Each structure stands twice: as structure tokens, then as C-alpha cells.
Amino acid sequence: MERVISNSLGGDDLDPAAPQREAAIFYGLFLRGHSADALRKDIDIPRKVLDKWMRAPHYEDSFRDRLHRVYNYRKQVLAIFDALVHHEKRNRPRPQ
């Protein structure tokens, strides 16, 4: 996961499949019994946190741009993870 995060900070060399791979890692944890809500908290960056980062006076503009990219990246991962979880819950066989 470290490579995925460093790529999301790096800019132009971002792998377009990285959000899907990272979401798949979290989905694998979900399938192994981890709570979907707990995993969502691990994936997500709350808007309040981003706003706090943006207000920090000592950050350079280039770093602020990277923070926005990381924030958007994590939202992509979260959306993919949610879609996988929703699909799993919808298609799981119900006990009879």
C-alpha cells in the first residue's frame, strides 16, 4: 500500500488502476470478517480534516495540491470499496 500512497502524492506517474487495487485490499479484509464501517473509517479522510490541513499556514501551495489529490484519491477508493461491499451484500446467498 505504501507504493499506492506515494504514487497518489507523486502526481503525473499515478497508476490509474491503483484505486481499484487498494479498494480490493480493503475488500479482502471485509471478506475476512472486518467491519465495513471500520474499514470505511480507515479509507476515508473527513472533509473537516482536509479543511484543517488547508488552513495550516506553513504548507506550501504544491503540498496543498498534493493533499487535494490524496483526498480525491481516498474518495475514489472509498467509492469503489462501497460498490464492492454493496455488490457482495446484494448477491450473498440468504440462509433458508
The answer to whether residue 41 sits within a structural domain is: yes
Which helix H or strand E contains 31, and what residues bound it?
helix 18-31
d(CA 83, CA 60) in angstroms, rounded, equals 35
Instruction: Provide the residue range defining the domain that includes 84.
Output: 2-11+20-91
Cβ-based neighbour number of residue 39 at 10 Å:
19
Residue 84: pLDDT band (50, 70, 90) is very high
The answer to whether residue 96 sits within a structural domain is: no
Residue 26: pLDDT band (50, 70, 90) is very high
The answer to whether residue 50 sits within a structural domain is: yes
8-23 average pLDDT score: 75
Number of compact structural domains in the chain: 1
Give the pTM: 0.78
N-terminal to C-terminal alpha carbon distance within the chain: 39
Cell of 67: 493533499
